[in-house]
Structure 1
Amino acid sequence: MEKLITTIPFYAILTEEEKMFLSQNCSIVDFDSREALFKQGSFAVNIYFVLEGYCKMTYQSGNKRKIVYIARKGEIIGKDYILLEHYPYSTHSLTASKLMVFPKNLFQKICELNKSFYLKISNKLEFKLRETMEWLINLSFKNVEGAMAMFILKFCNKNFKDISLTRTEIAEIIGYSRESIIHTLTKFEQEKLIKTKGKDIIIKDIEKLEEIIKYG
């Protein structure tokens, strides 16, 4: 536990008392693949730090679902709802995952006591949010081929290794139907831009995919 807790972003700037407080009030939880961490609208009680694996955040409105972010090792889930009473989205593990769990009110107390820690965590979140928003905005202007190419270059690389998204999950990320996803992947494979193996997508022609993004 002691070794794992030191991997929290900006842990070094916490005081010894704050480090002790954090270690005494956190727990390590293992989640199976596709297991729910929390559901949208339920009472927000915890903050999560990803130690291993990947987790998807999904926002639902009516019958429509949108995967808004995929968190990976080293990222905190929950800084964006620390002042809210309810979870603004649902979160599920995408792979077998290990997470460090903190009660939200205690994590909030540390942020109030240590302004430097709070500022650095906030700046990191702001950067991630800005990066994600830019990607989603660009995605919204693309046709299905352009959006599919954007997805492939972002998620089918070493930064997201060992993650296998279903065609439905891909559809929930890029905003097109599952049928359109399957058709486009088949077309890309026929054109030798990619190779598929089950759920996995292997990039074969980066330059062509970048060209599709530019004009798609």
Structure 2
Amino acid sequence: MAVPNINCKTCSNQNCLIKKNIDRNSIEQFMPDRSTIVCKKGQQFVMEGAPTNGLFFMNKGKSKVLKTGIYGKEQILRFVSNGEIIGHRGFGVREKYSISAVALEDSVLCNFTDKTLKKMLKEIPELTYDLMLFYAYELNIIESKVKAIAQMTVREKVIDALLYINRKFGVNYKGLLDLKLSRKEIAGFAGTTDEQVTRTISALKKEGLVFTIGKRIGIVNIDRLRMEISEHNYFLDS
């Protein structure tokens, strides 16, 4: 996969914080400092415990952000799609990344170093404000999820994970979730085990709420699944 020639002004990622502020004349001076990184599916591009190297912006592709728990168990914190940021929790406050990130498909990322970003934030107040709003939103999402997950049953956790993936990535032409994940990865995100995920999906299939083709999953009745977790008053939007 060749390294593409990315132009921030013509980039299609309208949600990217850099793209949103690209019309500011002062941001042009920082464009030569951006690095482009190409990752193959399964490639790790952020390693937990490694020295921080700025923020990564997903130009094209999908990835998972995770932490390693006890006995080496993988806990997936979130999934990342086009325009989103990776590595922000370590920016400015840590010398090492507290998370890992792995490409779920062939992906292209943009990277700005800590030094460049700090200078950008000092000189472009609009970018600083947008990043502050992003952090506030992320904190709200995390707090809401921790509260809800602590009260959910295994079935509700799996349903919540499937609805999250559906909202974030949509479906392909076959009606299957447009993110291919193993049962282990779903379990790592839902906070349960592979076996419990398999049993729950089998039960949902028997009830006509989901269907599968190979290892991929499609949702038949989104409203019914939403109703099952509605008492938690919680829907993760991103």
Partner residue in 1 for 2:159 = 149
Alignment partner for residue 4 of structure 1, among 11, 15, 18?
Answer: 11
Q: Is the 8 A contact 2:52 2:97 kept in 1?
A: yes
Alignment partner for residue 55 of structure 2, among 44, 47, 51?
Answer: 47
In the alignment, the residues of structure 2 paired with residue 132 and residue 79 of structure 1 have an alpha-carbon distance, to the nearest angstrom, of 14
**Paired residues for 1:176-215 under 5 Å:** 176-214=192-230
- TM-score using structure 2 length: 0.81
In the alignment, the residues of structure 1 paired with residue 231 and residue 154 of structure 2 have an alpha-carbon distance, to the nearest angstrom, of 12
- Measure how far apart 1:158 and its partner are: 6.5
> What percent of counterpart residues are identical?
20
Q: Secondary structure at the match of 1:151?
A: helix
Give the structure with the higher percent helix.
1
**Paired residues for 1:121-140 under 5 Å:** 121-140=131-150
Deviates more, 1:64-73 or 1:125-134: 125-134
Change over 3 Å in CA distance of 1:158–1:57 after alignment to 2: closer
Partner residue in 1 for 2:40 = 32
Alignment partner for residue 82 of structure 1, among 91, 99, 104?
Answer: 91
- Measure how far apart 1:108 and its partner are: 1.8
- TM-score using structure 1 length: 0.89
Q: Is the 8 A contact 2:56 2:85 kept in 1?
A: yes
- Measure how far apart 1:12 and its partner are: 5.2
Partner residue in 2 for 1:16 = 25
- Measure how far apart 1:110 and its partner are: 0.8
Structure 2 letter corresponding to 1:29:
I
Q: Secondary structure at the match of 2:59?
A: strand
In the alignment, the residues of structure 2 paired with residue 180 and residue 152 of structure 1 have an alpha-carbon distance, to the nearest angstrom, of 14
Q: Secondary structure at the match of 2:17?
A: coil
In the alignment, the residues of structure 2 paired with residue 27 and residue 169 of structure 1 have an alpha-carbon distance, to the nearest angstrom, of 29
In the alignment, the residues of structure 2 paired with residue 20 and residue 41 of structure 1 have an alpha-carbon distance, to the nearest angstrom, of 31
- Measure how far apart 1:5 and its partner are: 9.1
Q: Is the 8 A contact 2:210 2:220 kept in 1?
A: yes
Deviates more, 1:105-114 or 1:186-195: 105-114
Deviates more, 1:179-188 or 1:62-71: 62-71
2:119 corresponds to 1:97? no
- Measure how far apart 1:207 and its partner are: 2.9
Provide structure 1 residue ranges, at least 5 long, that are not aligned to the other structure: none
Partner residue in 2 for 1:115 = 125
Change over 3 Å in CA distance of 1:181–1:131 after alignment to 2: same
- Measure how far apart 1:128 and its partner are: 2.9
Partner residue in 1 for 2:3 = none
Q: Is the 8 A contact 2:43 2:102 kept in 1?
A: yes
RMSD value, Cα: 2.2
- Measure how far apart 1:139 and its partner are: 2.2
Change over 3 Å in CA distance of 1:145–1:138 after alignment to 2: same
In the alignment, the residues of structure 1 paired with residue 28 and residue 220 of structure 2 have an alpha-carbon distance, to the nearest angstrom, of 46
Change over 3 Å in CA distance of 1:171–1:6 after alignment to 2: closer
Q: Secondary structure at the match of 1:73?
A: coil
Change over 3 Å in CA distance of 1:108–1:185 after alignment to 2: same
- Measure how far apart 1:87 and its partner are: 0.3
Q: Secondary structure at the match of 2:89?
A: helix
Q: Choose between structure 1 and 2 for higher RCO, CA contacts under 8 A separated by at least 6 residues.
A: 1
Provide structure 2 residue ranges, at least 5 long, that are not aligned to the other structure: 1-5, 172-177, 233-238
- Measure how far apart 1:10 and its partner are: 5.1
Report how many residues are paired: 215
- Measure how far apart 1:149 and its partner are: 1.1
Partner residue in 1 for 2:175 = none
Structure 2 letter corresponding to 1:74:
G
